[in-house]
Amino acid sequence: MKRILSILCAAALLAGCATTPAVFTDFDPGVNFGQYQTYRWTQRPEGFSPLQTQRVVAAVDAKLRERGWTQSTNAQVTLAGTIVTERRMRVDTWNNGPMWGGWGGWGGGCCWGPGWGAWGSFNTTTTVRDYTYGTLVLDMFDAQTQRPLWRGIAMGTVPDSPIAQTNAMQLSVDRMFAQFPPTAAAAQMP
């Protein structure tokens, strides 16, 4: 029974690590995004996998096309992307048994009188998990003035499976561009 409980706890902890990426956007509220319709990449988001870079670029291109933007060598907006990854370690420890293991007597364990004493058995389980944490940053600039216009950031645990990586990346880009192009009213939200 203790073994089953340990396995269930470990599975729950690992499932908790497979979270949806956190996504944040920021923009200059004084910019009228309606004046922009063309863009070009000045820096593609490299740094993890060439295939994932290709997929990120394709996903961003698709989102901008959906908004009526097109790529152009003489673009109004420049787009720069960065991917940063780092290896992290997570250590989880939990007890799978009663902390106060049995009935104590006078002076038994930490108690001074009849009641539960500290004497008993419990098992402590520790798991160590090595994982990759990634951050995708997309920045837009006015091509003529170099004024920063918009920034999108997605960060979270990078799944091990390439299919899961692609799904997480697509979800990140979808969420980044959900309110794009921004409006001045969106900047007024608390």
* pLDDT tens by residue, 144-154: 999 999 999 99
Task: Write down the pLDDT at residue 110.
Answer: 52
Q: pTM score, two decimals?
A: 0.70
Please state the domain extents for the chain. Answer: 2-182
**Which segments of the chain have a pLDDT < 50?**
1-17, 101-102, 104-109, 117, 187-190
Sign of CA dihedral 73, 79, 80, 84: negative
Task: Write down the pLDDT at residue 168.
Answer: 93
One DSSP character per residue, 26-78 reads EE-TT--GGG--EEEEEE---SS-HHHHHHHHHHHHHHHHHTT-EE-TT-SEE
Task: Write down the pLDDT at residue 174.
Answer: 97
Task: Write down the pLDDT at residue 132.
Answer: 86
Architecture of the structural domain at 2-182: 2-Layer Sandwich (3.30)
Task: Write down the pLDDT at residue 184.
Answer: 61
